[in-house]
């Protein structure tokens, strides 16, 4: 059960005798709620900002009076029950006029009366039941996509129904087979009816092929659309000619079937790609950052909320704990620690004192800071990295274009053969020349050839998405299969990127569990990474302590009383003040890569806790699996040598480079590529973004930064490294199937074209040959769909 809301829904469903629902549902909930619960407190504080008119400008549509309409992205929706719950809940709020949730896209359209309810209250209501809603700008792209999808549906349907009906008219002629049982007038009327129904199929459904062919011709290229358009055009003209003159053959059934198959392939492909893109888009938070400005600092410390775009250099800002730093600048007041993992990949927060630099996009962890702005917008360190990323994107190696070039040679050869056949038959038997030329074009129709790759890719993309590995670029699968080098980032990729307890060293006579429980009790009021790590480790300790007089000294630690005794938890130096004796150096030695927190009382030292980043549980099996498959595994990290080496040794990686800058990583990957390696890069931070873009194929972790996800070809949403290995296997299988498909299409053409050129192929044979070959290709591709339909069910 993902949350109490779902529990309520579940109870309602069971009570209503609809328990069958759990047998039918296809997605298991589970990941949604913990995430949503984490996010809520942080951003709800900011939700009020969404009520400001200048913030609303970009995503709220004003109707008459106070009626407003906005589009929201809903996070955490895993099944239809969630949609129902949200709809019920929101529409029950006073002032909400209508709610529509699209289950496929996870978008909600909400209309409300602004005089009775505020947008922030609606967002809050969604958060209450365990989901997260973000306003977003539906924008032009969304509308364009909707239009494209509708147009594709119309084309597909017209081609489909045209195909069925034309086939009905064609069957009698095939059955009679010209043995005289069908009078010419019946055949004539059938032909005219077919002509009328084929007209919209050719004129409307097949129109994109003609447009594509025209574009190719103008650019002097030979794309797949050229023979398709020529085949359709020639077959249709020839059929119209013989219908009007009452002689020869008609190809209407072949034409409609051909168009229908091609459109089906394209439609499925479009849907799958869109689905992949959608999920990626949802991950991106799309709202402008707001900042608290201190207009009268240092005289007056009252702050006001303003949009970041209206800030200027030299102004003072207040950055509360948990907030992102909105601009580059220096600390003017306060002491805190700042999480710069976004930029450096370093998971430990960095202490900041007055006069030290703050970088936009980093997160203030401990206590409020006042900062003076030095750089905004284009001048920030972050936008410098983004520019680096843009450059890398522009230089992307286009492996995918190779496939296009091969296809275009095939097409060119095909056109030459058709032309040659036409000319040859013109001299041998002019009456049959046109028909045979058309037969060559129809029989060799590159249907199988043009379906070979997309059908396999679509099926594989679907399987991967179910594994939680999202493909966002078309070439990703092909390149993943060819990859020779796998380059990993350390923090957040091979490690979890979160603090956890690595080691406990007891120094007094109190046992490990009691020490942990005491530490957890002292940290109870605190929300930081260390406190969370200790609390998680102490979760199964049975001792419970109550604390009195807790004082929190930011940057040092916590002091409190347990049963009359004073205890301190924090930096060793801070605890040493209470214990009276300094901590033995030998114990700290060798643990430089970890954060050490000490626990002590007036009577002496009790324990040391070493905290740090831990390896993901399946990292070792992934590395081993990749090495078994003959791939070279490389570890590139911005962290210090020692920490990186330690991880590499645990995982058995021999090629290790530590303390790399983003530029350094980029140069290293470029170097590999110059030597002919196909590089797959796995990373998660902003510092990985440029190198992700430069790599042949890049995989970002789902929990990684936005920029990393935006520049990656694949996103590992499940965060399970094991799935990456499964992804590599699927990609290998995919490339094998694509090769089989291409080989089949090639052999088919090799046999069929000469037969057609020699005049042995009648139109119905061409039609059957064409559809059989496409069917083979599609069925072969379907082998990529994992038989895991029952997996997600309860």
Q: Which of 96, 110, 129, 418 binds other proteins (CB under 8 A)?
A: 129
User: Shortest distance, CB of residue 791 to other proteins, whole angstroms?
Assistant: 18
CA contacts within 13 A on the Cβ side of 703: 18
CA dist 421 and 441 (Å) reads: 10
User: Shortest distance, CB of residue 113 to other proteins, whole angstroms?
Assistant: 21
Q: Which of 29, 131, 51, 61 is nearest to 90 (CA)?
A: 131
Give yes or no for residue 11 binding other proteins (CB under 8 A). Answer: yes
Q: Which of 1, 4, 788, 789 binds other proteins (CB under 8 A)?
A: 4
- DSSP letters along 310-368, please? G--TT-EEEE-TTPBP-SEEEEEE--EEEE-HHHH---SPEEE-TT-EE-TT-EE-SS-
Give the pair of three-digit tokens for residue 340. Answer: 């710069």
User: Shortest distance, CB of residue 165 to other proteins, whole angstroms?
Assistant: 5
Q: Which of 2, 5, 230, 709 binds other proteins (CB under 8 A)?
A: 5
* Choice between 183 and 676, CB closer to other proteins: 183
User: Shortest distance, CB of residue 708 to other proteins, whole angstroms?
Assistant: 30
Element (H, E) at 761: none
| Cβ(482)–Cβ(792) below 8 Å | no
Give yes or no for residue 727 binding other proteins (CB under 8 A). Answer: no
Q: Which of 102, 301, 313, 565 binds other proteins (CB under 8 A)?
A: 102
What is the x/- site pattern for other proteins, positions 671-710, by CB under 8 A? ----------------------------------------
| Cβ(605)–Cβ(581) below 8 Å | yes
DSSP state of 103: T
| Cβ(567)–Cβ(559) below 8 Å | yes
User: Binding segment for other proteins among 8-16, 383-391, 709-717, 728-736 (CB under 8 A)?
Assistant: 8-16
Q: Which of 1, 144, 175, 189 binds other proteins (CB under 8 A)?
A: 189
Compute how many residues bind other proteins; rule: CB under 8 A: 50
Is 489 a residue of the active site? yes
Distances from the Cα of 400 to the Cα of 61, 450, 473, 477, 479, angstroms: 41, 14, 10, 10, 8
User: Binding segment for other proteins among 101-109, 235-243, 730-738, 739-747 (CB under 8 A)?
Assistant: 101-109
Task: Give the footprint of other proteins on residues 144-183 (CB under 8 A).
Answer: 146, 149-150, 153-154, 157-158, 161-162, 165, 168-169, 183
Cis peptide bond N-terminal to 298, omega within 30: yes
CA dist 492 and 685 (Å) reads: 8
Catalytic residue among 489, 684, 688, 713: 489
Burial of 18 (0-12, 13-18, 19+ CB in 10 A): exposed
User: Shortest distance, CB of residue 84 to other proteins, whole angstroms?
Assistant: 4
* Choice between 162 and 625, CB closer to other proteins: 162
Give yes or no for residue 16 binding other proteins (CB under 8 A). Answer: yes
User: Binding segment for other proteins among 194-202, 393-401, 445-453, 546-554 (CB under 8 A)?
Assistant: 194-202
Give the pair of three-digit tokens for residue 249. Answer: 């053959």
Q: Which of 30, 34, 41, 92 binds other proteins (CB under 8 A)?
A: 92
CA dist 371 and 362 (Å) reads: 13
Q: Which of 454, 453, 447, 455 is nearest to 771 (CA)?
A: 447
User: Binding segment for other proteins among 7-15, 338-346, 465-473, 726-734 (CB under 8 A)?
Assistant: 7-15
CA dist 688 and 404 (Å) reads: 30
Give the pair of three-digit tokens for residue 579. Answer: 């214990």
* Choice between 200 and 212, CB closer to other proteins: 200
CA dist 327 and 313 (Å) reads: 9
Task: Give the footprint of other proteins on residues 500-559 (CB under 8 A).
Answer: none
Q: Which of 616, 640, 627 is nearest to 720 (CA)?
A: 616
Task: Give the footprint of other proteins on residues 469-498 (CB under 8 A).
Answer: none
- Displacement of CA 552 from its chain's centroid (Å): 41
User: Shortest distance, CB of residue 106 to other proteins, whole angstroms?
Assistant: 10
CA dist 294 and 299 (Å) reads: 10
State whether residue 401 is helix, strand or coil: helix
* Choice between 43 and 204, CB closer to other proteins: 204
Give yes or no for residue 109 binding other proteins (CB under 8 A). Answer: no
What count of residues does the chain have?
Answer: 794
Q: Which of 105, 362, 364, 491 binds other proteins (CB under 8 A)?
A: 105
User: Binding segment for other proteins among 15-23, 420-428, 639-647, 653-661 (CB under 8 A)?
Assistant: 15-23
User: Shortest distance, CB of residue 764 to other proteins, whole angstroms?
Assistant: 21
DSSP state of 558: E
Give yes or no for residue 193 binding other proteins (CB under 8 A). Answer: yes
* Choice between 42 and 100, CB closer to other proteins: 100
Task: Give the footprint of other proteins on residues 306-345 (CB under 8 A).
Answer: none
User: Shortest distance, CB of residue 785 to other proteins, whole angstroms?
Assistant: 18
What is the x/- site pattern for other proteins, positions 195-234, by CB under 8 A? -xx--x----------------------------------
User: Shortest distance, CB of residue 279 to other proteins, whole angstroms?
Assistant: 14
What is the x/- site pattern for other proteins, positions 441-470, by CB under 8 A? ------------------------------
CB neighbour burial string for 307-339, b if at least 16 within 10 angstroms, e if fewer = bbeebeeebbbbbebbbebbbbbebbbbbbbbb
| Cβ(676)–Cβ(397) below 8 Å | no
- Please report, to the nearest 10 degrees, the dihedral formed by the alpha carbons of residues 312, 318, 324, 327 taken in order: 20
User: Binding segment for other proteins among 13-21, 58-66, 347-355, 539-547 (CB under 8 A)?
Assistant: 13-21
* Choice between 65 and 183, CB closer to other proteins: 183
* Choice between 129 and 133, CB closer to other proteins: 129
User: Shortest distance, CB of residue 196 to other proteins, whole angstroms?
Assistant: 5
Give the pair of three-digit tokens for residue 232. Answer: 């359709």
Helix axes 252-283, 184-200, angle to 10 degrees: 20
Give the pair of three-digit tokens for residue 410. Answer: 């095939």
* Choice between 153 and 419, CB closer to other proteins: 153
In this structure, the number of other CB atoms found within 10 A of the CB of residue 434 comes to 18
* Choice between 165 and 762, CB closer to other proteins: 165
User: Shortest distance, CB of residue 102 to other proteins, whole angstroms?
Assistant: 5
Give yes or no for residue 7 binding other proteins (CB under 8 A). Answer: yes
Give the pair of three-digit tokens for residue 20. Answer: 């069958």
What is the x/- site pattern for other proteins, positions 47-86, by CB under 8 A? --------------------------------xxx-xxx-
> Phi/psi at 18 (nearest 5 deg)?
-110, 30
Give the pair of three-digit tokens for residue 698. Answer: 């890049």
Distances from the Cα of 117 to the Cα of 44, 114, 522, angstroms: 16, 5, 41
Q: Which of 1, 54, 103, 416 binds other proteins (CB under 8 A)?
A: 103
* Choice between 84 and 426, CB closer to other proteins: 84
In this structure, the number of other CB atoms found within 10 A of the CB of residue 535 comes to 17
DSSP state of 64: S
In terms of DSSP H, where are the helices of 639-762? Answer: 641-651, 662-674, 689-694, 706-711, 721-757
Give yes or no for residue 108 binding other proteins (CB under 8 A). Answer: no
* Choice between 263 and 449, CB closer to other proteins: 263
Which residues contact other proteins by CB under 8 A?
4-5, 7-9, 11-13, 15-16, 18, 21, 24-25, 79-81, 83-85, 88-89, 92, 101-105, 128-129, 146, 149-150, 153-154, 157-158, 161-162, 165, 168-169, 183, 186, 189-190, 193, 196-197, 200
Catalytic residues: 489
């Amino acid at each position: 059960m993902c949350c109490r809301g779902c529990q309520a829904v579940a109870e309602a469903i069971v009570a209503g005798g609809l328990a069958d629902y759990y047998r039918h549902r296809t997605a298991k909930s589970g990941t949604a709620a913990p995430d949503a619960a984490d996010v809520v407190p942080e951003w709800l504080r900011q939700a009020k900002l969404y009520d400001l008119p200048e913030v609303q400008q970009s995503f709220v549509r004003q109707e008459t009076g106070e009626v407003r309409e906005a589009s929201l992205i809903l996070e955490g929706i895993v099944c239809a029950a969630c949609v129902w719950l949200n709809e019920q809940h929101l529409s029950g709020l006073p002032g909400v006029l209508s709610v529509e949730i699209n289950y496929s896209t996870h978008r909600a359209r909400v209309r409300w009366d602004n005089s009775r309810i505020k947008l922030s209250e609606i967002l809050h209501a969604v958060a209450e039941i365990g989901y997260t809603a973000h306003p977003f700008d539906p924008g032009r792209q969304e509308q364009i996509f909707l239009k494209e999808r509708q147009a594709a549906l119309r084309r597909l349907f017209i081609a489909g129904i045209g195909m069925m009906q034309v086939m009905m008219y064609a069957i009698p002629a095939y059955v009679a087979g010209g043995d005289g049982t069908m009078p010419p007038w019946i055949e004539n009327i059938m032909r005219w009816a077919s002509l009328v129904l084929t007209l919209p199929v050719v004129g409307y459904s097949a129109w994109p092929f003609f447009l594509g062919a025209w574009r190719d011709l103008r650019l002097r290229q030979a794309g797949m659309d050229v023979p398709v358009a020529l085949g359709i055009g020639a077959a249709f003209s020839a059929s119209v000619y013989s219908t009007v003159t009452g002689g020869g053959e008609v190809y209407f059934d072949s034409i409609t079937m051909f168009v229908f198959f091609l459109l089906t392939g394209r439609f499925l492909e479009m849907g799958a790609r869109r689905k992949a893109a959608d999920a990626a888009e949802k991950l991106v938070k799309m709202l402008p950052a707001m900042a608290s400005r201190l207009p009268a600092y240092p005289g007056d410390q009252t702050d006001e909320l303003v949009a970041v775009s209206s800030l200027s250099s030299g102004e003072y800002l207040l950055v509360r704990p948990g907030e992102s730093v909105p601009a580059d600048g220096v600390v003017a007041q306060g002491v805190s620690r700042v999480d710069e993992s976004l930029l450096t990949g370093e998971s430990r927060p960095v202490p900041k004192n007055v006069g030290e630099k703050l970088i936009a996009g980093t997160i203030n962890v401990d206590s409020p800071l006042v900062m003076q702005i030095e750089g905004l917008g284009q001048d920030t360190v972050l936008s410098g990295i983004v520019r680096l990323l843009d450059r890398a994107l522009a230089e992307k190696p286009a492996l995918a274009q190779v496939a296009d070039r091969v296809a275009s040679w095939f097409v060119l050869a095909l056109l030459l053969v058709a032309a040659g056949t036409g000319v040859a038959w013109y001299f041998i038997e002019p009456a049959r020349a046109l028909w045979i030329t058309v037969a060559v074009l129809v029989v060799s129709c590159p249907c199988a050839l043009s379906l070979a790759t997309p059908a396999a890719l679509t099926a594989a993309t679907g399987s991967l998405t179910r594994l939680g590995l999202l493909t966002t670029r078309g070439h990703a699968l092909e390149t993943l299969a060819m990859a020779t080098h796998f380059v990993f980032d350390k923090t957040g990729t091979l490690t979890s990127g979160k603090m956890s307890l690595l080691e406990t060293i007891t120094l007094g006579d109190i046992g490990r569990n009691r020490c942990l429980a005491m530490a957890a009790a002292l940290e109870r009021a605190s929300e930081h990474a260390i406190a969370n790590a200790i609390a998680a480790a102490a979760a199964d300790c049975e001792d419970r302590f109550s604390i009195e007089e807790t004082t929190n000294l930011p940057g040092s630690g916590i002091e409190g009383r347990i049963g009359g005794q004073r205890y301190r938890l924090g930096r060793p130096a801070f605890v040493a003040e209470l214990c009276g004796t300094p901590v033995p150096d030998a114990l700290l030695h060798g643990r430089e890569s970890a954060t050490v927190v000490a626990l002590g009382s007036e009577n002496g030292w009790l324990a040391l806790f070493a905290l740090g980043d831990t390896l993901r549980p399946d990292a070792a099996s992934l590395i081993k699996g990749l090495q078994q498959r003959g791939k070279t595994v490389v570890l590139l990290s911005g962290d210090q040598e020692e920490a990186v080496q330690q991880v590499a040794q645990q995982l058995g990686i021999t090629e290790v480079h530590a303390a790399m800058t983003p530029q350094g990583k980029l140069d290293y990957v470029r170097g590999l590529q110059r030597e002919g390696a196909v590089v797959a890069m796995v990373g998660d931070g902003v510092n990985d973004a440029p190198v992700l873009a430069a790599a042949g194929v890049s995989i970002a972790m789902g929990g990684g930064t936005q920029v990393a996800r935006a520049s990656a070809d694949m996103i590992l949403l499940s965060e399970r490294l094991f799935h990456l290995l499964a992804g590599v296997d699927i990609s290998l299988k995919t490339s094998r199937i694509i090769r089989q498909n291409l080989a089949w299409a090639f052999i088919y053409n090799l046999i069929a074209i000469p037969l057609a050129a020699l005049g042995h192929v009648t139109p119905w044979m061409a039609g059957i040959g064409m559809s059989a070959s496409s069917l083979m290709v599609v069925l072969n591709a379907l082998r990529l769909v994992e038989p895991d339909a029952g997996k997600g069910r309860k």
